[in-house]
């Protein structure tokens, strides 16, 4: 008892000094709201790049640029919308470990972009089967647990459907504008 | 002797030994006893500049990765690296990274394990593609029964540089003839970058401003016949620096004043990397005798600087592009050059745009832009387009040859040995497979 009282007093004094005692814990943004906000930005940028750059300046527009997988090889080469999206994800990855994101599809042209983890597969199936809905879950990869959100990736222009329907490696060739072609997967480590 | 005494002796000997090693490690110039294994062909030249890669004793693979990218990031970017670190950083790859952590160069290129090192500095089993592309046979019928150790060894794929091997490129060049007419190398049509330097009026021997003891008739005659005097570069243009009024034997430190891109690339290659100012330890220039390649006996002690190939005062580029190479190199490929078709064309007319020299392939003239105009810069890093050898397809081979022929020729060790003195007999099927997928 003699030892406990001084320790308690010490703890109380430290608490008063640091101002951490008794106050309600600061409320952080909920993971779901966090990923919803991130997706809003991603989706807006992705749609704008597809419509304002690729569609308007590409072969279906004024023909000033050449959207092409190996765009670095061409003077007027421009990254495809999926590559632009990926470039953003990679640039973010250079800046922060607080979240990651990727574009995936159950009908990927590049098979490396097929859903891989059980939660990705479940999420992709869900957003396709439930247009307009998002999917949320938790999963552990390596030794880290993530809040994982899957958002529908909708064909916003015939530039999307035309390219995917005509590509020799596309497993699905009857996409229409408005279809869910895949999903954006955002992960936040918990 | 009592055990107590033995312990004291052991302790003193141990402390003396540790002190010696510590002093050697911190203050010693030669640290060869700390090498943990033989260094590979890519780095043996600079193995005594330990801190160039091991920038700090405590840091692990992140520190080493920084060291790798310090020298190699730019070339990987230029090669449109097919497997950059950014491809592997998403957490969904955690299971794959547990097998091969492809975020780090040393996962595949572990240094100081020479006996376990394959070509391209690879220290993994050659079937490493399997771990991520195990399903490729299901995606591509043509790949169904292929061995995974053949992906990067049969002329079809490279891990990093596929600029001449990707499918669309194969298709665009699918039907090219083996030999294009007229034979001409693109780089030959461009003026040299040094022509962009502000030139002064041509000089004569009477203008030479060397000190009396250096005014030899032979030297003056050679200088007067050379491009330097024609461009108004007087003796002190090379033989002096900001701190020295006269330098008896100028080095690359003087050449770099006008030939910066050539010297920069020279210092990045195997000929000049020991002289690179980025090294943490000052090293002597490399000699052929320190290499494992085959060289002429009388060249083994030659230290490699600019003047090794560009003889002072004459700087004859025709000498530099063949003769200088063959003065040292005596491997099968080099010895076969003069009797090869390429060598015969050069001997018939060394000044021809179609003449293929050693330098045409190993130190090509690369298009470069300076002050808005296009020039050719001679790439003096002879390894820049050498390994894997498909790197030279676009920068060199396609000037004169069709893609299919070039891929087949470069995939043949026999043809490399005889310096392409025969036509390829084995066909790499990649172009045919790409065409089949179009139908």
pLDDT in tens, A133-178: 999 999 999 999 999 999 999 999 999 999 999 999 999 999 999 9
Which of A77, A90, A109 to substitute to test the interface with B, most B CBs within 10 Å? A90
Decide if B348 contacts B340 (C-beta within 8 A).
no
Chain-chain contact of A102 with B168 (C-beta, under 8 angstroms): no
- Measure the CA–CA gap between B43 and B290, rounded to whole angstroms: 12
Chain-chain contact of A93 with B90 (C-beta, under 8 angstroms): yes
**Nearest CA to B150 among B183, B127, B125?**
B127
Chain-chain contact of A73 with B92 (C-beta, under 8 angstroms): no
Tokens of A10: 């010490």
Chain-chain contact of A89 with B139 (C-beta, under 8 angstroms): no
Predicted local distance difference test score (pLDDT) of residue A11: 44
pLDDT for residue A18 is more than 50: no
- Measure the CA–CA gap between A124 and A128, rounded to whole angstroms: 6
Which of A66, A69, A73 to substitute to test the interface with B, most B CBs within 10 Å? A73
- Which residues in chain A touch residue B90, judged by CB atoms under 8 angstroms apart? 89, 93, 100, 102
- Which residues in chain A touch residue B438, judged by CB atoms under 8 angstroms apart? 168
pLDDT digits (tens, 9 = 90+) for A41-85: 999 999 999 999 999 999 999 999 999 999 999 999 999 999 999
Predicted local distance difference test score (pLDDT) of residue B120: 94
Chain A positions with Cβ closer than 8 Å to B: 69-70, 72-73, 89-90, 93-94, 100, 102, 111-112, 116-117, 120, 141-142, 144, 146, 168, 185, 187, 189
Which of B65, B79, B81, B91 to substitute to test the interface with A, most A CBs within 10 Å? B91
Smallest CA–CA distance, residue B91 to chain A, in Å, is 7
Each residue's pLDDT, cut to its tens digit, for chain B (439 residues) gives 688 999 999 999 999 999 988 888 777 777 788 888 999 999 999 999 999 999 987 778 999 999 999 999 999 999 999 999 999 999 999 999 999 999 999 999 999 999 999 999 999 999 999 999 999 999 899 999 999 999 998 899 999 999 999 999 999 999 999 999 888 888 888 888 776 677 789 999 999 999 999 999 999 999 999 999 999 999 999 999 999 999 999 999 999 999 999 999 999 999 999 999 999 999 999 999 999 999 999 999 999 999 999 999 999 988 999 999 999 999 999 999 999 999 999 999 998 888 999 999 999 999 888 888 889 999 999 999 999 999 999 999 999 999 999 999 999 999 999 999 999 999 999 999 999 999 7
Which chain B residue lies closest to A96 (C-alpha atoms)?
A: B89
Predicted local distance difference test score (pLDDT) of residue B391: 96
Which chain B residue lies closest to A147 (C-alpha atoms)?
A: B91
What value does the mean pLDDT take over residues A37-42?
Answer: 98
If you ran DSSP here, which 8-state letter would residue A78 be given? Answer: E
Chain-chain contact of B92 with A89 (C-beta, under 8 angstroms): no
Tokens of B230: 């024609």
Global pTM value: 0.90
Smallest CA–CA distance, residue A93 to chain B, in Å, is 7
């Amino acid at each position: 008892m003699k030892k406990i009282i001084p320790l308690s007093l010490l703890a109380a004094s430290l608490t008063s000094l640091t101002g951490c005692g008794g106050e309600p814990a600061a409320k952080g943004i909920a993971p779901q709201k966090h990923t919803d906000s991130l997706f809003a930005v991603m989706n807006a940028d992705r749609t704008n790049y597809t419509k304002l750059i690729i569609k308007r300046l590409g072969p279906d527009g004024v023909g000033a640029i050449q959207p092409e997988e190996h765009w670095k090889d061409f003077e007027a080469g421009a990254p495809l919308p999926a590559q632009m999206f990926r470039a953003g994800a990679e640039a973010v990855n250079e800046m922060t470990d607080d979240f990651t994101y990727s574009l995936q599809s159950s009908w990927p042209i590049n098979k490396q972009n097929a859903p891989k983890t059980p939660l990705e597969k479940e999420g992709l199936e869900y957003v396709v089967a439930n247009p307009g809905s998002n999917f949320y879950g938790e999963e552990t990869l390596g030794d880290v647990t993530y809040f994982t959100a899957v958002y529908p990736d909708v064909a916003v222009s015939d530039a999307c459907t035309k390219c995917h329907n005509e590509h020799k490696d596309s497993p699905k060739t009857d996409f229409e504008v408005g279809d869910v072609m895949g999903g954006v997967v955002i992960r936040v480590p918990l | 002797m009592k055990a107590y005494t033995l312990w004291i002796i052991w302790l003193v000997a141990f402390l003396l030994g540790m002190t010696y090693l510590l002093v050697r490690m911190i203050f010693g110039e030669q640290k060869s006893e700390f090498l943990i294994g033989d260094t590979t062909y890519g780095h043996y030249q600079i193995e005594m500049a330990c801190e160039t890669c091991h920038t700090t004793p405590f840091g692990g693979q992140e520190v080493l990765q920084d060291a790798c990218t310090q020298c190699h990031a730019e070339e990987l970017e230029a090669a449109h690296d097919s497997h950059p670190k950014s491809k592997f950083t998403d957490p969904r790859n955690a299971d794959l990274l547990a097998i091969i952590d492809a975020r780090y160069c040393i996962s595949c290129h572990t240094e100081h394990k020479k006996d376990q090192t394959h070509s391209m500095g690879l220290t993994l089993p050659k079937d490493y593609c399997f771990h991520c592309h195990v399903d490729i046979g299901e995606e591509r019928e043509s790949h169904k029964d292929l061995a995974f150790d053949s992906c990067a060894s049969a002329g079809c794929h490279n891990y990093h540089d596929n600029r001449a091997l990707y499918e669309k490129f194969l298709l665009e060049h699918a039907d090219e003839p083996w030999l294009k007419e007229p034979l001409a190398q693109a780089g030959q049509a461009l003026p040299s970058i040094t022509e962009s330097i502000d030139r002064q009026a041509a000089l004569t021997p009477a203008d030479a401003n060397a000190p009396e003891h250096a005014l030899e008739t032979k030297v003056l005659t050679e200088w007067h016949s050379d491009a330097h005097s024609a461009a108004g570069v007087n003796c002190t243009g090379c033989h002096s620096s900001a701190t020295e009024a006269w330098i008896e034997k100028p080095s690359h430190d003087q050449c770099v004043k006008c030939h910066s891109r050539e010297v920069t690339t020279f210092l990045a290659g195997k000929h000049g990397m020991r002289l690179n100012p980025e090294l943490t330890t000052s090293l002597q220039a490399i000699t052929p005798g320190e290499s494992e390649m085959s060289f002429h006996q009388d060249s083994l002690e030659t230290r490699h600087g600019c003047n090794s190939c560009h003889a002072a005062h004459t700087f004859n580029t025709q000498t530099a592009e063949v003769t200088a190479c063959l003065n040292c190199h005596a491997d099968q490929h080099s010895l076969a050059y003069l009797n090869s078709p390429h060598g015969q064309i050069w001997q018939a007319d060394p000044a021809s745009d179609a003449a293929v020299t050693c330098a045409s392939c190993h130190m090509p003239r690369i298009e470069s832009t300076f002050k808005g105009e296009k020039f050719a810069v001679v790439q003096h890093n002879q390894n820049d387009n050498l390994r894997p050898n498909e790197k030279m397809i676009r920068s060199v081979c396609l000037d004169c040859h069709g893609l299919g022929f070039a891929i087949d020729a470069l995939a043949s060790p026999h043809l490399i040995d005889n310096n392409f003195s025969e036509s390829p007999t084995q066909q790499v099927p990649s172009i045919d497979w790409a065409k089949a997928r179009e139908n």
